[in-house]
Amino acid sequence: MHYVDVILPLPLQDTYTYAITDQMHDSVSRGCRVVVQFGKKKVYTAIVTRVHNEPPPFEGVKYVTEVLENHPIVNERQMQLWEWIANYYLCPIGDVYKAALPGGLKPKDDSALREKNKRRRLHLDSSFTLGESTILRPLSPAQQTAYDDILTSFTDHDTTLLHGVTSSGKTEIYIHLIEHYIAQGKQVLYLLPEIALTTQITDRLEAVFGDDMGVYHSKFTDAQRVAVYQKQLSDSPYRLILGVRSSVFLPFQDLGLVIVDEEHEQSYKQQEPAPRYHARSAALILARMFGAKTLLGTATPSFEVYHFARKGRYGYVQLTQRYQGMQLPDIHIVDIKELKRRKQMIGAFSPQLVDAIREALARREQVILFHNRRGFSHFIECKQCGWVPRCSHCDVSLTYHKKTLQLTCHYCGYTYRLPDTCPACGEKNFMSKGVGTEKVEDQIAEIFPEASVLRMDLDTTRSRNSYEQIINDFADHKADILIGTQMVTKGLDFDNVSIVGILDADTMMNQPDFRAYERTFQTLSQVAGRAGRKNHTGQVFLQTKSADSPTIQHVVANRYWDLFYTQMLEREQFHYPPFHRLIYVYLRHKDAQLLDHLAAEMADRLRAVFGARVLGPDTPPVSRVQSLYIRKIMIKIENSASTDKVRQALLTIQKQMLNQPVANALSIYYDVDPL
């Protein structure tokens, strides 16, 4: 009798055993897809992890319904990466499977499966052509030196940090490195944190690598993603993959180099749902499995990476000059506290910024305005009685979206119609509080009615080509002003932008998070770096209520080191990364009182093992999402501690907790290396 263990696309920790016929046994192997029945009626596409002859310790083992192919579609290294992610990030392997394969490869019912299979065969036929248009520019002397230094550094480091100021021409260095590795017959993975960025860099890379390059991200149709995945399995895989976070899950055959561009970006970490993995860490593991090299590139390194570079664990290469000696932008601090007091603000704008925009528009130059909040206002309030609409499923006030006349919960996505009258007092007198990007857009239309404006935030980029449209239109100067959230801060390269306005630098800085200053420095330096890239010295107007804050001063003077140094002293003293590892344990339940009780019990059990490394339980700032209350326990663990032992201890305690009948609706999950 033969059996297979399989991973199901469900949040399940374990693999499940099914029987196979002799005929199936001839074709099935680790990494193949099979169709199995799970539960009474449900049918799933599962991935085989093991073929064996050991009968399971229970009666009535079911047979695999169908073997979908006779070759693995998940190769050995992918399988190991899945296992590493499940182990390190303390999440069910089924969740990793769900995240790793495009939807088309894990259909639920049979008919859909057959349809997909037909299409798959088609894709495999698509032939492979070599890129024809090779447009390699000459590197500048500084770029050439950095390029040589990177290759030298790779001789004794697997991982190297390229720390180059904004506009130092890092992309061009990457392109030469990619050429170098492809010429040796190797594959390259080029990771970017944001789809918005891939659209800009795709054009540049396509000119050089043509059909050798595949692009992979969620704005492509599922069929397109399946095609890329299948091509990576075929005899003629793409030599270069450009993609976001999830590209680490693609099959590679002979990976030689991984580039993690804008390595400091938070969006490399998946927050919701599990697996809550960091693509940079996953990429390092993937590279290690292939004996490949990893280049981490950024103008503002994450403190973790910079720390390891200083310690010699990573190589370090620096570029301090912008390409062709362009100047870094001038940063002007605008103290809006004082301006507010004197009632001189024009909406969210200081007179200085308004003047600068006016002059730029007169010179036919462009402007980027960065604001950290989308929507129209943070919330609305009844002027009469102070009533504020809140989400009925989450513990947050609703964001007002004026265009759609909707109130939206940014946590669960639920939308509500704006009520005609206040449900508390019956009056019809709402006022909007706080400023979102939509309101910024309205204010600009009032101040500069002749200017054409584009807005880039989550709300304007939902459709498939919207990123591309906005970025191309702005690059083609079809608009004068681009308003956006963090999306506009990340590595975008526009020739004609002379003014960058940061409307409110304070919200980031005031976050209750040990990384708040690091992040503020990164975001502000990055957005400032969008100004004056080609021809002129850019001007940045940084509006803040805390003009004296050291972080703001460091940004202005580009003093990365000073901030790094003071922050490291604090982090070492209080046991934060990179000196310790953090694990957040989250508990969710619909009954707040019971949850408090269970969270306290879990913390006690954790303390019995981890002692004073355990803090909490605490109630997080948003303490209820989608009708479930949330509690959080923090564990600070020495870097030297064995991840295996820590995992074993945590999972044992988790099991003890969940085995109690009273805890049957409790959910426990982890955020390892939270950001």
Interactions with ligand ADP, residue window 493-512 (CB under 6 A): 493
Interactions with ligand ADP, residue window 17-56 (CB under 6 A): none
Residues in contact with ligand ADP, counted by CB under 6 A, come to a total of 16
**151 to each of 174, 290, 492, how far by Cα in Å?**
12, 17, 26
Give the Cα separation of 405 and 391 in Å (integer): 16
290 makes contact, choosing from ligand ADP, Zn ion, none, with CB < 5 to 8 Å by partner type, with none
164: contact with ligand ADP by CB under 6 A: yes
Residue placing its CB nearer to ligand ADP in the complex, 147 or 308: 147
Q: What phi and psi values does residue 335 have, to the nearest 5 degrees? A: -80, 100
Q: 79 and 49 in contact (C-beta within 8 Å)?
A: yes
Give strand pairing partners of 523: none
484: contact with ligand ADP by CB under 6 A: no
Give the Cα separation of 639 and 33 in Å (integer): 38
Residue placing its CB nearer to ligand ADP in the complex, 57 or 141: 141
Smallest separation (angstroms) from Zn ion to the CB of 287: 39
**DSSP codes joined into one string, 411-433:** TT--EEEPPSS-TTT----EEEE
Q: 294 and 159 in contact (C-beta within 8 Å)?
A: yes
Q: Beta-strand (E) ranges in 461-531?
A: 481-484, 497-502
At 478, is the secondary structure helix, strand, or coil? Answer: coil
Residue placing its CB nearer to ligand ADP in the complex, 145 or 236: 145
172: contact with ligand ADP by CB under 6 A: yes
**426 to each of 388, 402, 430, 511, how far by Cα in Å?**
13, 21, 11, 35
Q: Which residue, 33, 27, 36, 61, is CA-closest to 48?
A: 33
Query: Tokens representing 412?
Result: 């669960």
Residue placing its CB nearer to Zn ion in the complex, 14 or 427: 427
Smallest separation (angstroms) from Zn ion to the CB of 395: 9
Q: Which of 139, 354, 394, 635 binds ligand ADP (CB under 6 A)?
A: 139
Q: Which of 49, 78, 143, 372 binds ligand ADP (CB under 6 A)?
A: 143
Q: Which residue, 367, 422, 321, 292, is CA-closest to 540?
A: 367
Smallest separation (angstroms) from ligand ADP to the CB of 488: 14
Q: Tell the burial category of 336 from Cβ atoms under 10 Å away from its Cβ (0-12, 13-18, 19+).
A: buried
Stretch that binds ligand ADP, among 36-44, 149-157, 166-174, 597-605 (CB under 6 A): 166-174
Smallest separation (angstroms) from ligand ADP to the CB of 494: 9
Q: Hey, how many other C-beta atoms are within 10 angstroms of the C-beta on 507?
A: 15
Residue placing its CB nearer to ligand ADP in the complex, 172 or 673: 172
Residue placing its CB nearer to ligand ADP in the complex, 322 or 373: 322
Interactions with ligand ADP, residue window 519-578 (CB under 6 A): 533
Torsion angle defined by CA atoms of residues 50, 55, 61 and 67, in that order, rounded to the nearest 10 degrees: 30
Q: Which of 49, 168, 461, 486 binds ligand ADP (CB under 6 A)?
A: 168
Residue placing its CB nearer to ligand ADP in the complex, 170 or 186: 170
Stretch that binds ligand ADP, among 132-140, 382-390, 397-405, 445-453 (CB under 6 A): 132-140
Smallest separation (angstroms) from Zn ion to the CB of 388: 10
Q: Which residues contact 446 (CB under 8 A, 6 or more apart)?
A: 347
422 makes contact, choosing from Zn ion, ligand ADP, none, with CB < 5 to 8 Å by partner type, with Zn ion
Stretch that binds ligand ADP, among 162-170, 333-341, 351-359, 646-654 (CB under 6 A): 162-170
Q: Which of 166, 232, 267, 366 binds ligand ADP (CB under 6 A)?
A: 166
- Per the document, the length of the chain is 675
557 makes contact, choosing from Zn ion, ligand ADP, none, with CB < 5 to 8 Å by partner type, with none
250 makes contact, choosing from ligand ADP, Zn ion, none, with CB < 5 to 8 Å by partner type, with none
169 makes contact, choosing from ligand ADP, Zn ion, none, with CB < 5 to 8 Å by partner type, with ligand ADP
Residue placing its CB nearer to ligand ADP in the complex, 33 or 170: 170
Q: Which of 167, 366, 372, 485 binds ligand ADP (CB under 6 A)?
A: 167
Residue placing its CB nearer to ligand ADP in the complex, 291 or 325: 325
170: contact with ligand ADP by CB under 6 A: yes
Residue 594 per-residue DSSP state: H
Q: 521 and 559 in contact (C-beta within 8 Å)?
A: no
Stretch that binds ligand ADP, among 168-176, 276-284, 331-339, 389-397 (CB under 6 A): 168-176
Smallest separation (angstroms) from ligand ADP to the CB of 248: 21
Q: Which of 9, 169, 436, 501 binds ligand ADP (CB under 6 A)?
A: 169
Q: Calculate Rg over the CA atoms of the chain.
A: 27
Give the Cα separation of 535 and 140 in Å (integer): 17
**53 to each of 1, 17, 25, 59, 97, how far by Cα in Å?**
6, 11, 11, 15, 24
Residue placing its CB nearer to ligand ADP in the complex, 5 or 261: 261
Residue placing its CB nearer to ligand ADP in the complex, 530 or 647: 530
Residue placing its CB nearer to Zn ion in the complex, 195 or 396: 396
Q: Hey, how many other C-beta atoms are within 10 angstroms of the C-beta on 671?
A: 21
Stretch that binds ligand ADP, among 120-128, 138-146, 243-251, 542-550 (CB under 6 A): 138-146
203: contact with ligand ADP by CB under 6 A: no
At 376, is the secondary structure helix, strand, or coil? Answer: coil
Smallest separation (angstroms) from ligand ADP to the CB of 641: 37
140: contact with ligand ADP by CB under 6 A: yes
164 makes contact, choosing from ligand ADP, Zn ion, none, with CB < 5 to 8 Å by partner type, with ligand ADP
171: contact with ligand ADP by CB under 6 A: yes
- For the packed helices 550-557 and 516-528, what is the interaxial angle rounded to 10 degrees? 30
CA torsion through residues 178, 181, 186, 192, sign: negative
Q: Which residues contact 325 (CB under 8 A, 6 or more apart)?
A: none
Stretch that binds ligand ADP, among 24-32, 139-147, 506-514, 551-559 (CB under 6 A): 139-147
247: contact with ligand ADP by CB under 6 A: no
Contact footprint for Zn ion (CB under 5 A): 382, 384-385, 387, 391, 393-394, 409, 411-412, 414, 422, 424-425
Q: Which of 323, 370, 521, 541 binds ligand ADP (CB under 6 A)?
A: 323
Give strand pairing partners of 544: 335
Q: 560 and 551 in contact (C-beta within 8 Å)?
A: no
Residue 375 per-residue DSSP state: S
**DSSP codes joined into one string, 126-180:** ----------PPPPPHHHHHHHHHHHHHHHH-SEEEEEE-TTS-HHHHHHHHHHH
Helices and strands (DSSP H and E) totals, the chain? 20, 28
Residues forming contacts to ligand ADP in the complex (CB under 6 A) are 137-140, 143, 164, 166-172, 323, 493, 533
